[in-house]
Chain A
Amino acid sequence: LAKTTQPISMDSYEGQEVNITCSHNNIATNDYITWYQQFPSQGPRFIIQGYKTKVTNEVASLFIPADRKSSTLSLPRVSLSDTAVYYCLVGDRESSYKLIFGSGTRLLVRP
């Protein structure tokens, strides 16, 4: 199972677009890339998942280059409530959907 590397923390201001990049150099061919968000005293919450190119949903976009060695979570126009820890995870279908969490990126959104 591939490991992920993310920045430890990021700061932003309300209304800005935030991009969090994660590297996963040894990702397997069949690995999906998934992002979760976690607030204090809560369990992680699914944000978005992708395999290649670009995926967009109502809260975020996920950009995955052709070599799939990295991915970028894009949060448009962040608000104070987006202050949280964001995890990039790689999942492997051969491991029964087991998730391996890294240390995550702590995002602080300032007024």
Chain B
Amino acid sequence: EAGVTQFPSHSVIEKGQTVTLRCDPISGHDNLYWYRRVMGKEIKFLLHFVKESKQDESGMPNNRFLAERTGGTYSTLKVQPAELEDSGVYFCASSQEGTGRSYEQYFGPGTRLTVT
């Protein structure tokens, strides 16, 4: 079974540019999450999808961040315009609803974003 994949693995952009990160969850997983680790700090929750619906986006830092999950499959996280403080590692995770193991989230390898 393929795991959670993320693309790209690394991205270096200039301040003010736009970047779109992609996450492909494990097939059949309804729940999809985005997290990020800013340099030297803890992993922070950004938002949670159930299928194509946003269930909790309380962690989104501001309106420069837009997450979508059209069709309930893969998800994208767009940062526009990017700022220096957006640099960090962005993780995506997915989990299967209704297994009784709600917190067993499967994480992707992350996308390392550097804004210069």
Contacts and interface: CB of A to CB of B under 8 A. Distances in A.
Contacts of B106: 46
A46 B43 contact: no
B59 A98 contact: yes
B105 interface: yes
Contacts of A89: 103
- Chain A CB count within 10 A is highest, among B42, B44, B103, for B103
Interface residues of B, number: 27
Interface of A: 32, 34, 41-46, 49, 87, 89, 91, 93, 95-103
A37 B44 CA distance: 16
B107 A44 contact: yes
Nearest to B45: A98
Contacts of A42: 107, 109-110
B108 A97 contact: no
B107 A43 contact: yes
B59 A46 contact: no
